[in-house]
Structure 1
């Protein structure tokens, strides 16, 4: 009976299982432990072993002088070999990230894909582009709840980049709205207070306008601006509630109505009030 072929996953589909990684590692400490094993075994050349931060050179030394550990027995040999495996895996994980940075720097310097192809050990510019995209997978996550790394396919990377661009654009618009709200907060609040006599105020609305009036003259610090914004939102909510209960407009004049509407619009744009 023929084996059922497993359907290939869509190139942009999130990973079924997150990859297992070494992640953060104190490589200097691990190399130091390897050095101690060689010293304990009486390795006569241990002084030639590179420093604790020279991981690649230290690994090559330990590989070449592994025989020296025979004097310490099998447990020392096993321990050293496992530490070497761990360090090589750590290096493998770091390689993609650092190669990606090199490719990014090359492209920023104007190096065309046709010249990057042989450096990336591929035969064509398109293959170099695709390989660079696959390298980018180490810096991107998918849209699952646990933000897993994206698949190492150009399609998955492009999709993640598209999603990141949309998120960045949304954040930019949010920042612009916040900056606009900050710029308009003082004049809008001042205009509402100036129209106080032409507003129909209940006890709550009057209280919040008093708070606005108190903070307005010296409103310069971020904390004061935050308080003013909160008071303005509370005042607008009180005026709207009064309108709903009485069925009458909260403003008696066009100027007061314009000031009231401007305050409500500013609070809606900042997300402090639902759109009316």
Structure 2
């Protein structure tokens, strides 16, 4: 129970059942019409187990048996996840741990609680490439839940901050576009204004917002560079000058 579990994870179980069905077809299984559909995995596996003797070739028996082992393991993992969801539903419906104990095949309320925590480890989101596997102990599951809640809170705060910045940045970016005819039509300024125009209508995610902010800063930078050049003003109208000033103020403030 202290070792991190190795899991099969996602699997196209119906496709594997279909491969087993094909083996039985090739073996001319006379009862194959009684086999459940490929997506009825439990029923299909019990049929295939009961009719395994129709496979006469050793390689077919071996392949079928190994695939059944894989599918039973997959069902076991899925059962943990769905049983955990059922426990949560029962608790939401005010079921006591003493009522859940018989359904969980344990004798006490505390044992039911601990088993529910261990099962919940299977239902917690987990990326094997970025985090260690969740150890199936009550303490480890509670810690994993705490970390998952912290990540969710961080993501929610990031979304709220992105929405706040969008409310401030979008009008400023729109104003630059509205008065772009009054801005210097040099290649660099035009390029960054085109980028703003492309991203602004669909600026919904934090990544898109970062892009929009980058493009606005680039316009400011190129205008300032042109102004320092001194050959001619990059701001040819009062409206363009005000739009530029508003963008500078926002970027400086945030």
Fold match (TM-score > 0.5)? yes
User: What is the alpha-carbon distance in structure 1 between the residues aligned to residue 52 and residue 129 of structure 2?
Assistant: 45
Cα displacement (A) at 1:150 = 0.7
Q: Higher mean Cα deviation, 125-134 or 23-32?
A: 23-32
Aligned to 1:49: 35
From 92, 103, 112, give the equivalent of 2:87.
103
User: What is the alpha-carbon distance in structure 2 between the residues aligned to residue 262 and residue 99 of structure 1?
Assistant: 52
Checking the alignment, whether the CA contact within 8 Å between 1:137 and 1:157 is kept in structure 2 is yes
User: What is the alpha-carbon distance in structure 2 between the residues aligned to residue 125 and residue 113 of structure 1?
Assistant: 5
Cα displacement (A) at 1:97 = 1.0
Cα displacement (A) at 1:24 = 2.7
Structure 2 stretches of 5 or more lacking a match?
Answer: 174-188, 204-208, 225-246
TM-score, scaled relative to structure 1: 0.60
Counterparts of 1:76-95 in structure 2, within 5 Å, are 76-95=60-79
Q: Indicate the RMSD between aligned Cα atoms, in angstroms.
A: 4.1
Aligned to 1:26: 12
Aligned to 1:245: none
From 89, 93, 103, give the equivalent of 1:119.
103
Cα displacement (A) at 1:63 = 1.7
Cα displacement (A) at 1:263 = 5.7
Cα displacement (A) at 1:154 = 1.2
User: What is the alpha-carbon distance in structure 2 between the residues aligned to residue 145 and residue 60 of structure 1?
Assistant: 35
Q: Does 1:138 align with 2:128?
A: no
User: What is the alpha-carbon distance in structure 1 between the residues aligned to residue 40 and residue 159 of structure 2?
Assistant: 44
Say how many residue pairs are matched.
212
Aligned to 1:264: 252
Checking the alignment, whether the CA contact within 8 Å between 2:169 and 2:250 is kept in structure 1 is no
From 58, 77, 95, give the equivalent of 2:44.
58
Please tell me whether Structure 1 or Structure 2 has the larger radius of gyration of its CA atoms: 1
Checking the alignment, whether the CA contact within 8 Å between 1:150 and 1:156 is kept in structure 2 is yes
Cα displacement (A) at 1:75 = 2.7
Checking the alignment, whether the CA contact within 8 Å between 1:233 and 1:264 is kept in structure 2 is no
| CA deviations over 1:115-165 (Å, ceiling 9, x no partner) | 111111111222212111111212336799632321111111111111122
Structure 1 stretches of 5 or more lacking a match?
Answer: 1-7, 190-207, 240-258, 267-276
More helix by share: 2
Aligned to 1:158: 142
